[in-house]
Chain A
């Protein structure tokens, strides 16, 4: 048990898109240093959870806390400055800018030029593949390479937590493994990770805990190891639920 508040916490969040409700009393938390995985079928509200954390969408009820402090009133840039890095759904690189420019845009909130330059070296060492492509236009990279750049860009802000929306989407098995092991490496440097995944089996192998979301409600919360073994429960909610 730790006395410090969780780095990220959602409490009883309700979210609406016009008349459509996307979250029903959603609560979850990420402790420092954890990798937490949010699982769920299509349209269960996973991406909306990301938008809520970043302040891109505001909930109608409930609270979002970072280090125990509510961020509901803050704009997205302010939340980012608190140490929240993002790997958005479908990567969202700045396609017509070079890889280097994309990485430096990741450090937009920082003013310490020398440290940013040092971090660029460090990040490039972590992603040798990205280093090779540093001058290329980001939009011309392969999907897997773009995913690497998106993760590297998130790291450039020196975040304390990175939230990732389906980082393995559309990648071949080889690249999925690469991405997951990089996530573990990043976590090893002390960065907490909150990731949305549909690739439940693989994601749970690196995660500490997992939540299963179904139509905007958390239906299971468990240690990743337990979720991995309990195929029955998982299948009922992931994939299985959609057929029903």
Chain B
């Protein structure tokens, strides 16, 4: 039996590591008003640099630490220079998307270099423990605590006592005023990214030693935890981030003690949503404190959409229908079927993020809701599949809208963070609610698709049904966009303050967008479940949410034809060229980065 003392120590240690991440996020937010999703990737790089140092170079601990600090700081500087600075004039959401692209690129590069297998970082300390009462503190605990306190002390000394520390604070308070007193704000950004990355990298090594295991995919979760801690403490508030981290660590540790390890993240994300909804300025914001600069600005690059003539579109559709008869290539047909299903997801997201401006980062959760609803109703309760697929769509529409409704009052970045958190919560509920969802083993033996009672096994038939559903919903969405409803959604996106002053109820229109989008995505998820015959809590993961966003941006935000084109390009092309899975994610990351930088209006233009 581990004692509460041990849980508290454990929580504080984990909190310390979150703190190393959250402080960096807060610093970066302070000077650039940016939530850096690549932050966890720096932590991964730090962990692997540490692994190389210890296991290959056999460096002693202080040298290991120094190497990590230096290389991570250099990486931070590179991220700032090549990922963020070129986007200085773009809408605020643009650098956020760029950091997501960067995180894909960095994580996958690490994975390609070091393989996806977990590795252990040997601890370089004597395994000595101090017994206190019913519990104990180990050498490593003390070391992590010591590094955390030292880092915090050094940071505060830097901010309070040095000239560039003052410049960092001044820039965070008023960027233009800092410039006119002669502060080089690019230099400030560089310094801040270097410090943040160095701290994050140190966090990575320490976590490797603490859990004795590192993987290339651990960065995303680390980013999320850092963000949670930062939001708890108040976005951009450095001392707040430290307190938020310790709080998060302790809450998680107690939660795990009460309910088990698989609940760890659920606590974190529930805390995130609670704070976002109840105290979006963080726990410590005083009444008088101004909210951090409203993070508005949709990712809608003004552009004239390219209008494709109707005869051309009809010809393309006819070609798509005739295709299975023209060529005898089952693999290609399957790939395109997949593309139509992703096109549905793209349609859903282009409506929610493009037309109504709510950049959702948790869209895969809608697939999961639709997929699980349909799969469970058909497999466990024997309902006919055509009915369960519709039920899947309706459930995704209803439950999805209900779940995000608390986030309707948020704007800009906060919407993205909230939807991300809600998406994670859905996945965690699926994982933990075993009596209904079968938990970690997933749902196997899902009945096949059927067409008026006849099971569908034929590749071509599945292709046609998928295409027909996609086409029907796409046409419906086109109708919707040209109606009064579509215009109002765009008005809400472009200027919510003005829209509200005209008496438009923002919540209703955001709700309608999520409901329609949820239905479309739910159908896609349900169809996918029956096509695969097996799903689990990882089938619809965050990578898919980001892929959906890349599809929508590639086609042109809000653009129906663009979503379809984007899906064909991003799903079809890598498949046709047989690009291996790990390179595919790298490719998606690069595509996102390049799009945000060079063609934010996408291929067909925004609507």
Question: Which residues does A use to contact B, with CB under 8 Å?
Answer: 54, 56, 75-77, 80-81, 86, 88, 92-97, 101, 104-106, 108-109, 153, 157
Verify B169–A108 contact, CB threshold 8 A: no
Known: A94-B178, A153-B181. 17 other contacts (CB 8 A): A54-B180, A56-B180, A75-B184, A80-B181, A81-B182, A88-B180, A93-B177, A97-B173, A101-B166, A104-B166, A105-B167, A105-B183, A106-B181, A108-B167, A108-B183, A109-B181, A109-B182
Is B163 interfacial (CB 8 A cutoff)? yes
Residues in chain B near residue A106, CB distance under 8 A? 181
Contacts of A75 in B (CB 8 A): 184
- What's the dominant secondary structure at chain B's contact region? helix
CB-nearest residue of chain A to B183:
A108
Q: Could you write out 26 A-B pairs with CB less than 8 Å apart?
A: A76-B180, A77-B179, A80-B180, A80-B182, A81-B182, A86-B180, A88-B177, A92-B176, A92-B177, A94-B169, A94-B170, A94-B177, A96-B173, A97-B166, A97-B169, A101-B166, A104-B166, A105-B167, A105-B178, A105-B181, A105-B183, A106-B181, A108-B166, A108-B167, A108-B181, A157-B182
Question: CB of B174 within 8 A of chain A?
Answer: yes
Tell me, in angstroms, the Cα distance from A101 to B168 when the chains sit together: 13
Contact B170 A105 (CB under 8 A): yes
Please indicate the chain B residues that have their CB under 8 angstroms from the CB of A109 in the complex. Answer: 181-182
B183 touches which of A77, A86, A96 (Cβ 8 Å): A77
Q: With the chains together, A226 CA to B179 CA distance in Å?
A: 37
Question: Which 3 A-B residue pairings sit nearest by Cβ, starting from the closest?
Answer: A80-B182, A109-B182, A92-B177
Query: Which of A88, A93, A95, A97 touches B176 (beta carbons < 8 Å)?
Result: A88
| A195–B166 alpha-carbon span in the complex (Å) | 28
CA distance A86 to B181 in the complex (A): 7
B179 and A56 within 8 A (CB): yes
In the assembled complex, the CB of A152 is this many whole angstroms from the nearest CB of chain B, namely 12
Closest Cβ of chain B: how far from A239's Cβ, in Å? 29
Is B173 a contact of A95 with CB atoms below 8 Å? yes
> With A and B bound together, what is the CA distance between A94 and B167 in angstroms?
10
For A96, what are the chain B residues with a Cβ–Cβ distance below 8 Å?
Answer: 169, 173
Give the residues in chain B near A76, CB-CB below 8 Å.
Answer: 179-180, 182
Chain A contacts for B178, CB-based, 8 A: 94, 105
Look across to chain B and name the residue whose beta carbon is closest to the beta carbon of A75. Answer: B184
Query: Do B163 and A94 touch across chains, with their CB atoms under 8 A apart?
Result: no
Q: In the bound complex, what is the Cα–Cα distance between A109 and B163 (angstroms)?
A: 10
Q: What A residues does B174 contact at CB under 8 A?
A: 92-95
The answer on a CB contact under 8 Å between A94 and B173 is yes
Query: Contacts of A93 on B, CB cut-off 8 Å?
Result: 174, 177
Are the C-beta atoms of B173 and A157 separated by less than 8 Å?
no
Taken residue by residue from 362 to 389, chain B's Cβ proximity to chain A (1 for < 8 Å, 0 otherwise) reads as: 0000000000000000000000000000
Q: Would you call A97 and B170 a contact (CB within 8 A)?
A: yes
Is there contact, CB below 8 Å, between A157 and B181?
yes
| A106 to B183 CA separation, bound complex (whole angstroms) | 10
Which residues of chain A have C-beta atoms less than 8 A from B181's C-beta?
80, 86, 105-106, 108-109, 153, 157
CB contacts (< 8 Å) of B184 on chain A: these are 75, 77
> Which residue of A is nearest B171, CB measured?
A94
Q: Closest residue to B174 on the A side, CB-wise?
A: A92
Query: Taking A75-B184, A77-B182, A108-B167 as contacts, is the C-beta distance between A56 and B176 under 8 angstroms?
Result: yes
Min CB distance B181 to A, Å, is 5
Interface residues of B in 146-192 (CB under 8 A from A): 163, 166-167, 169-170, 173-174, 176-184
Rounded to whole angstroms, the CA-CA distance of A54 and B182 in the bound complex is: 10
The chain A residue sitting closest to B163, CB to CB, is: A108
Residues of chain B contacted by A108 (CB below 8 angstroms) = 163, 166-167, 181-183
Closest Cβ neighbor of A89 among chain B residues? B176
User: What is the bound-complex CA distance between A54 and B167, given in angstroms?
Assistant: 18
> What's the nearest-Cβ distance from chain B to residue A211, in Å?
22
A87→B57 CA distance, assembly (Å): 55
Expressed in whole angstroms, the minimum distance between the Cβ of B169 and any Cβ of chain A is 6
Chain A residues with CB under 8 Å of B170's CB are 94, 97, 105
Specify which of B166, B173, B179, B181 lies most central, judged by the most chain A CB atoms within 10 Å of its CB.
B181
Residues of A within 8 A of B177 (CB): 88, 92-94
Q: How far is the CA of A77 from the CA of B187 in the complex (A)?
A: 11
Q: A109–B166 Cα gap in the complex (Å)?
A: 13
A120 to chain B, nearest CB (A): 14
**Which chain A residue shows the least CB distance to B175?**
A92
Give the distance in Å from the alpha carbon of A108 to the alpha carbon of B170 in the complex.
Answer: 11
Instruction: Compute how far the CA of A19 lies from the CA of B176 in the bound complex, rounded to whole angstroms.
Output: 23
**Chain B residue with Cβ nearest A154:** B181
Residues of A contacting B167 with CB < 8 Å?
Answer: 105, 108
* Residues in B neighbouring A101, C-beta threshold 8 A: 166
Residue of A nearest to B169 (CB): A97
Query: In whole Å, how far is B289's beta carbon from the nearest beta carbon of chain A?
Result: 9
- With a cutoff of 8 Å between Cβ atoms, the chain B residues found around residue A104 in the complex are 166
Q: A86 to B176: give the CA distance in the assembly, Å.
A: 11
Contact of A105 with B179 in the complex, beta carbons under 8 Å: no
With both chains docked as a complex, state the minimum distance between the C-beta of A109 and any C-beta of chain B, in angstroms: 4
A102 to B42, CA, bound (A): 34
For the complex, give the distance between the alpha carbons of A209 and B530 in Å.
Answer: 81
Smallest distance from the beta carbon of A48 to chain B beta carbons, Å? Answer: 14
With both beta carbons as reference points, the residue of chain B lying nearest to A81 in the complex is identified as B182
Nearest residue (CB) in A for B180 is A86
CB distance from B238 to the nearest CB of A (A): 12
- The docked-state distance in angstroms from the alpha carbon of A93 to that of B174 is 8
Complexed CA–CA distance, A77 and B176 (Å): 11
Which residues of chain A are within 8 angstroms of B163 by Cβ–Cβ distance? 108
Residue of B nearest to A86 (CB): B180
Please, which residues of chain A bring their CB within 8 A of the CB of B180?
A: 54, 56, 76, 80, 86, 88, 92
Residues of A contacting B183 in the complex (Cβ-Cβ under 8 angstroms): 77, 105, 108
Write out the residue numbers on chain A whose beta carbons fall within 8 Å of the beta carbon of B182. 76-77, 80-81, 108-109, 157
Q: What's the least CB distance linking B136 to chain A, in Å?
A: 42
Interfacial residues of chain B within 446-470, with CB under 8 A of chain A in the complex: none
Q: Of residues B163, B178, B179, B180, which shows the largest number of chain A Cβ atoms within 10 Å of its Cβ? A: B180
Tell me, in angstroms, the Cα distance from A95 to B173 when the chains sit together.
7
Q: Which residues of A contact B176 (CB under 8 A)?
A: 56, 88, 92
Report Cα–Cα, A109/B179, bound state, in Å.
11
CA distance A81 to B169 in the complex (A): 21
